[in-house]
Amino acid sequence: MPIHAAKHQVGSRKGLDDKINKSDHQVSLRHCLVALGTILLATLGFLLRKRFFLEPADSYVLCSTNGKQIHLVDEQNSLVECLVVHGSYIQDVGDLADIQQRWTYSQEKALPIYYTQPGSIIVPGMSDSHAHILEYGASRIIPLNQGKTIKEVVMSVRDYIVSDPDINNNKSKLVQGWGWDHTVWSEGRWPTADDLDADPDIHGRPIILQSKDGHAIWVSRATLDDNGPYPEHVDGGVIQTDSDGNPSGLFLDNAQDLIHKPEATDADLHSLFSITVRDALAYGLTSIHDAALAPESLAFFKRQALLQAEEGTLPIRIYGMTYFNESGEYWGDRVVPLINAGNGRLHCRSVKMFADGALRTGGAALYEPYTDNPSTNGFMRTPPEIINKVIPRFLGDGWQVNIHAIGDRANGIVLDAFEEALSDVDVTTLRPRLEHAQLLTEADMKRIGKLGVIASVQPTHVIDDMWYAEQRLGSERVKGLYAFRSILNNKARITLGSDAPVEGINPLAGFYAAITRFSEDGTSPHGPDGWFPEQRLTRQEALRGMTIDPAYASFTELTLGSLLPGKRADFVILSQDIMSVAVDKILESRVIATVLDGRPVYGSFL
C-alpha cells in the first residue's frame, strides 16, 4: 500500500525551509493552496486523535536537523537525512529531497514530518547480546555493589532489613541480594557467615547474597544450617571451609546448587522484570539476549508472552537461551525451539551451557596455574566428555549452542567440540557462540574465524578486570585476554553485551570501553592510551557490535539491527554524535527517545 507524504511539520524546522521550497518550486500555486488546506485539516485531526502529540502518527517521516545524521548500519555504513515509518516498519530512507520526490503528496492522507533536536543522531535500536534480565532487576534492590569493604556490604543488608517493616518484624523471612564484589574489598579475603551474623539486626536471619559475577553465593549461619549437611566435594564447584574444615558460608560455581532458594512467584519476577525494562529502555536498548543464569527466567518470559499475546506485546525484545544443567540429561530432541512468540518479541532457539567458572573468582579453566595462586588452574563446570557429547546433538537437532567459556583451556575444549561437530554442517545455519571468549591462545583466535564461531564479548569487563588481570595471569598470558582486535583480524564476528548485572546495562558504557580501553576517568594500568590499546575497536565496529551483529547472532538480521526498508522500526535518538564527539564526552550522551515498532517506549521525538 503506497504512503503519501506531505509538508506537515511538528517542532523545529530551522535550516530546512530552503530545502523544502527548492524541491517544491515546480508545484503550482493552486496545488499548494489545496494541499495546504488539506494539511491543516489533517493536522487538526492528528492533534485531537493523538492528544496533542503524546504519540506520533501511525505513519510519519522522521528527519535529522543536522543533515545526514541517521546511521543505517548497512553494508556501506550509510548516513541519510530521513526515514519513513509505516506502522511497525521502515518504509523508506534517504535525503529529504529524495523522500519528497519518491512519495507523492495526497489530499487524502498526509504524513507528518518530525525533526530531531539539533546535534542529535539516530542509530538502530541497540542490543545487549549477553545479560541476565531478572538477575539485573534483583541487583537493583540492595546496593551490594557499592560496598568497598565487607562491613559496608553487611551494613547495606542491615539498612535494607530495618527499612522494611515486613522484613524487620519477621526474622524467618529470607533476604536475597545480588552484586557484592570481593575484588574491591580492602580485606583481601572471602566473606563468611560470621561476617553477616556479627550484625545484631541480621543475626539469626536467612540471608543469600549472590556475587557480582554470579559465580559465588555468600550466606548467613541460618541459611547454612537450613541447607546442610554438605558433601566434602562438588564437581565443578567449591565449598569454602573454616579452619576446622566446616562450611564457612561461601559457595562457588556448581556448589551454589547446594543452597535452596524458594521458587519466586510471578509477582516477584514481574517486579524484577519491570526494573530491568525501565532501565534498559532508558539506555536505548530495544533487545536483550538473556543468558539463562536461572532456568525459571525463560519460563517466566514465555508465560508473559502468552499473557500479553491478546492485550499487547512484551515491552522489550528478548532472545532467550535455554539453560542446560551440566549434570542433566539431553533434551534437545524433545523441546521445540520458540520463534516469534509474544507478537514477535520473544525467540528462543539456543541452549546455554557453562564450560568453566569466572576469572574474578578463580574458577576460569586455564592450561597453566594462576600466577597469583599456583595451587590451582581453575576448573571445568561441565566435564569435557559431556561437552563433546551434547554439542553435536544440540547442533544436529537445530539448536544454536552458546557456551560460557572464560579461561584459555575452557575455550580450547569448546572449540575442539565445535570443530568436530561442524565438520559436516553449514555453520551459518547454526551460528554457535562463545559467551565471553575472554582468554584465548593465538591458535584459538584463528580457529574462531575459521569455524565461523561468534565471539559474544563484554567490553566493560575489560576496564573492570584490567586492574587485577596481570597479577592473576602474568605479563605474557594476559596479552590474550579480551583481545578483540586480534579476534576481528582473524575474520571472526564479535557481538557486544554487558553481562548485567555483573556490569551496568548502559550500552554506551560498552561502546566507550571497546574504543578506549580505559576507565571512565580516563585512566588504565598502561597509561592514558588505554590497556593494550592495540586491541581497541573502531567506533563503527562498536556500533555494529551492538546493532546488526547481535541481530545476526540471534537470527534476526533480516528484521532488526539496521534501518533499512522492510525492517522493524526500532531506533534510538541520542543527544549527541557518539561517532565523532570526544571520547571523554561519550558517556554524557542522553537517550532522547527509544522507539520500538515505530512507537516511542521511552522519551519522545515530538
Q: Are residues 142 and 248 in the same domain?
A: yes
CA nearest to 594, candidates 275, 277, 284, 276: 284
What is the DSSP secondary structure assignment for residue 123, as one 8-state letter? E
Do 41 and 156 fall into the same domain?
no
Distance CA 321, CA 199 (A): 39
Residue 109 has a pLDDT of 58
Reading the block at residue 150, the C-alpha cell is 565487607
106 and 141 belong to one structural domain: no
Local structure of residue 246 (DSSP, 8 states): S
Do 100 and 23 touch, CB atoms closer than 8 A?
Answer: yes
Query: Smallest Cα–Cα separation from 558: which of 549, 567, 550?
Result: 567
Rounded to whole angstroms, the Cα distance separating 577 from 486 reads 27
CA distance 571 to 561: 9
- The more confidently predicted of residues 6 and 379 is 379
- What is the percent of the chain where pLDDT is above 90? 77
Looking at the predicted structure, is the pLDDT value of residue 44 above 70? no
Averaged pLDDT for residues 170-198: 95
pLDDT of residue 4: 35
Q: What is the mean pLDDT of residues 20-25?
A: 38
Q: Is the pLDDT score of 28 beyond 90?
A: no
Let me know if residue 306 belongs to a domain.
no
Q: Which three cell numbers stand for residue 85?
A: 515509518
Range of the domain at 65: 5-124+598-603
Q: Is the pLDDT reported for residue 13 higher than 80?
A: no
Confidence label for 25 from pLDDT (cuts 50, 70 and 90): very low
Distance CA 457, CA 445 (A): 13
Instruction: Let me know if residue 37 belongs to a domain.
Output: yes
Neighbour-count burial of 18, counting CB atoms closer than 10 A to its CB (0-12 exposed, 13-18 middle, 19+ buried): exposed
C-alpha cell at 82: 530521513
Integer angstrom CA distances of residue 89 from 102, 315, 346, 380, 567: 18, 17, 18, 45, 6
| Residue 194: CATH number of its domain | 3.10.310.70
At which of 224, 258, 292 does a domain end?
258
Residues 196 and 226 in one domain: yes
Report the chain's mean pLDDT, rounded to a whole number: 89
More confident residue, 128 or 262: 128
pLDDT tier for residue 574 given thresholds of 50, 70 and 90: very high
pLDDT confidence tier of residue 311, bands split at 50, 70 and 90: low
Last residue of a domain, one of 205, 233, 258: 258
- Ranges 41-50, 185-194, 241-250: which has the least confidence: 41-50
pLDDT at res. 363: 94
Residues 226-246 have pLDDT tens digits of 999 999 999 999 999 999 999
Cell of 266: 510471578
Which band of pLDDT confidence, cut at 50, 70 and 90, is reported for residue 22? very low
The model's confidence at residue 371, banded by pLDDT at 50, 70 and 90, is very high
- Evaluate whether residue 441 is within a structural domain: no
Please tell me the predicted confidence (pLDDT) of residue 413.
98
pLDDT tier, 58 (very low <50, low <70, confident <90, very high otherwise): confident
Residues 223, 243: one domain? yes
How many structural domains does the chain have? 2
Domain boundary among 258, 275, 298: 258
Which three three-digit cell numbers place residue 375?
595451587
